[in-house]
Structure 1
Amino acid sequence: MSTATEVSELAARVRDRLAHLHPGVDVGELKTLPGGHSGLTYSVTVGDAAYVVKAVPPGQRPVGRNDVLRQARVLGALAGTPVLVPGVAVVDEAQPAWFAMDFADGEAVEPVLDEPGVPPATARARMLAIASVLRQLHATDLRTPGLDAPEPLAAAGELERWSRTMHAVPAELRPGGEELLARLGDDVPGELPPVLLHGDFRLGNVLCTRARATAVVDWEIWSVGDPRIDLGWFLLFADHRNFPRLGHAVPGLPTEAELLGAYLEGRPAPPAMDWFRALARMKMAAIMGHNLRRHREGKHHDPDQERLPPTIAAMIAAARDILG
């Protein structure tokens, strides 16, 4: 069966289920939403209602980032909690699986990376606002019905996972990477009580209207574990200098210290944050190195990946500096 046929059959299934949800209302055509990096993502209108559909790509297994049912479960579990998430309207477990969620208002713009951006004052207000969103997310009761929290992710496990990714990157693309991994491994901090983790929390994954957050999206890699894993990743995006040849300056963005203060809201700072800040930079270097390697091996042609080497080197160097 061709990919086009499979996508057409998926569209027919989606339109049929949404028609049952809205009897007598015309269902529009599925339109591909740009910007997604995992699964298939579409928008569709049904009368005055609008939905986002996420589906397993044809021919691929529903695992990892393509496990859309796992995403639907966490969204359903968080409905009615202080964490702002889109409502889930339909879940279809037949393969290829898919689900439809409410189309939330807002835009997701990463200030130092995305073009076009937003006014600097708006970018600053949004970053400070979503620091509070992350605090609320981490305060989620892990016993919430339907959450089915997995085994907690420890700092050592996170380091081991991303070390494997880093080691798969050719040595010439990760200068100083071995020393960084060794230094991280020599001083793994003790664990904090586990919380709900988004896994990729940043402005690029939070829809905002003006300075107000409306929904946290892209839950492909959610887990449970040390809150500093999310926090170190979030702080990474506060400074364009972390992304040579990729980032651009945005005047007035909060510093990492300001963002951390907004998250803590008067509470004491958690210990060993520098280790998690360095870990976040190692993870970013590993991800970029992996993507560049795939491009150069012809597995995923994307000439834009050739811009990554300076940022990979800068991430590793900055992580080593943070560790002293």
Structure 2
Amino acid sequence: MPTTTEDTADTATTALRGRVVAALREQGYDGEPGALEPMLGGHSGLTYRIALGEEQFVVKSVPPGQRAVGRHDMLRQARIMTALGGTEVPVPAIRATSGAEPAWFAMDLVRGESLEPVLDDPAVEPALAAARMRRAAEVLPQLHGVPLDALPVDGDPLGPAEELARWARTMGAVPPELVPGAAELERRLAARVPDAVDPVLVHGDYRLGNIISSGEEPAALIDWEIWSPGDPRVELGWFLVFADGANFPGVGREVPGLPSAEELVELYVAGGPPLGELAWFDALGRFKMAAIMGHNLRRHREGRHHDPDQEKLPATIERLVRTGLDRLS
């Protein structure tokens, strides 16, 4: 009988389970191992849950056949979380790693919810969603305050110009008819690029969907695929995109009582000096999201990744571009 794709996947999972269990035992964890169970969510690598006796772990692994680079560089993610383990930034503790192909790391399973109130299901109760968003705004400066020289930085900082160029390349690969007005938004962003400030550690996708919350409190910031040194205002502008469900017509929801962008910025600044050119970074966040959605819609329409839900995106793309232009008026 010929070998099927399912057989190959089962063999790879069995081999990975054996490696994970052996490595955790070397770290002193004992008990009967459970199955390596796939977990939903995440867009880089494979994510599993495994029990070893009374302990529960999450395992992230490079997919078989993929190179451990970029979003699939699991050990790079493990390194930054390990470095943050002694700081005020809440991260899961890393318990074991392996660089042998396919590379992987195991971390503590943190209990809680990681839900984007304006996008994800199930819906979060509005008062709880508002409290979580305020706490996320208060935690973000703790992340940005970690000294870079204490971290395993492995690249040059990305300033505002580099960030715009990065997302302009993504937008440039999308047919213009899928992102009406994006060229004008890009032109206006390029016409008034702010000066860079001193770089900080940026998560790269900081939002409630990547924060495991226990009640109101942030218990763990997860999904560190694209961390880097960069401009803190880029991160804050991206976070603000998710503070208003009206940004996502057809694909999201409006949540009553969420804090305004102005309140979130005040919580972030916490009495410090005001942030310069924040409207530009707010518009950049909208441009970035429109580029990502346009890219996904293009892939669907070209048959590269069939997903009928992508047909809900045009109204959101249009609104993101229009409100981005409004921010720059």
Distance (whole Å) between structure 2 residues aligned to residue 4 and residue 180 of structure 1? 47
1:122 Cα offset (Å): 0.7
Listed as ranges, the matches of 1:297-312 within 5 Å are: 297-312=302-317
Listed as ranges, the matches of 1:1-324 within 5 Å are: 2-22=8-28, 24-144=30-150, 146-324=151-329
Contact 1:139 1:195 in 2 (8 A): yes
**Unmatched tracts of structure 1, length 5 or more:** none
Deviations, residues 98-156 of structure 1 (Å, cap 9, x unaligned): 00011112111111111112211111111001111101000001111x52352111110
Distance (whole Å) between structure 1 residues aligned to residue 307 and residue 11 of structure 2? 26
Distance (whole Å) between structure 2 residues aligned to residue 114 and residue 25 of structure 1? 36
Distance (whole Å) between structure 2 residues aligned to residue 137 and residue 175 of structure 1? 35
TM-align CA RMSD: 1.3
Spell out structure 1 runs of 4+ moving beyond 6 A: none
1:96 Cα offset (Å): 0.7
1:22 Cα offset (Å): 4.0
1:315 aligns to what SS in structure 2?
helix
1:15 Cα offset (Å): 2.2
Equivalent residue pairs, number:
323
Distance (whole Å) between structure 2 residues aligned to residue 168 and residue 23 of structure 1? 48
Distance 1:283 1:24, change over 3 A: closer
1:23 Cα offset (Å): 5.6
Distance (whole Å) between structure 2 residues aligned to residue 214 and residue 274 of structure 1? 30
**Unmatched tracts of structure 2, length 5 or more:** none
Contact 2:153 2:228 in 1 (8 A): no
TM-score by length of 1: 0.97
Distance 1:22 1:272, change over 3 A: same
Distance 1:86 1:24, change over 3 A: closer
Distance (whole Å) between structure 2 residues aligned to residue 143 and residue 149 of structure 1? 11
Contact 2:116 2:207 in 1 (8 A): yes
Give the counterpart letter for 1:29 in structure 2.
A
1:79 aligns to what SS in structure 2?
helix
Contact 2:71 2:226 in 1 (8 A): yes
Deviations, residues 169-194 of structure 1 (Å, cap 9, x unaligned): 01110101111111111110001110
Give the counterpart letter for 2:103 in structure 1.
A
Distance (whole Å) between structure 2 residues aligned to residue 269 and residue 83 of structure 1? 23
